[in-house]
């Protein structure tokens, strides 16, 4: 996966990806040592509690329902990235 090569600060996934869904991608990322600590946000047009629960149980940190404000999503991603900076880590 590209995430293991790039090690992004935050990953934003759509739940309905072609060929594999965002829940399965999240599971796979959380199984890998290099990517397990990257915060994952899943976005979906589905607003069901079961979709949100499936994503969160797979390891995503937030579930955002479409339509969403790009500014709100950016703020969420920036906040998550900042919380992952070494100086912000709890001791």
Q: How would you class 6 by CB atoms within 10 Å of its CB: exposed for 0-12, middle for 13-18, buried for 19 or more? A: exposed
Kind and range of the H or E element at 4? helix 2-6
Best CA proximity match to 40, nearest among 50, 54, 48: 54
| Domain chopping of the chain, boundaries | 10-83
Average pLDDT value over all residues in the chain: 86
Q: What is the pLDDT of residue 33?
A: 92
Using the structure block, give the residue that is written with the tokens 């390891």: 59
Share of the chain above pLDDT 90, in %: 56
Which position has the higher pLDDT, 36 or 84? 36
Q: What is the pTM of this model?
A: 0.82
Fold of 10-83: Rossmann fold (3.40.50)
Is the pLDDT at 43 greater than 60? The verdict is yes
């Amino acid at each position: 996966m590209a995430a293991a090569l790039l090690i992004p600060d935050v990953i934003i996934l759509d739940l309905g990806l072609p060929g594999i869904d965002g829940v399965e991608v999240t599971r796979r990322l959380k199984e890998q040592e290099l990517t397990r600590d990257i915060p994952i946000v899943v976005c979906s047009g589905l607003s069901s509690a079961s979709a949100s629960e499936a994503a969160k149980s797979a390891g995503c940190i937030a579930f955002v329902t479409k339509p969403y404000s790009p500014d709100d999503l950016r703020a969420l991603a920036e906040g998550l990235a900042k919380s992952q900076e070494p100086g912000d880590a709890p001791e």
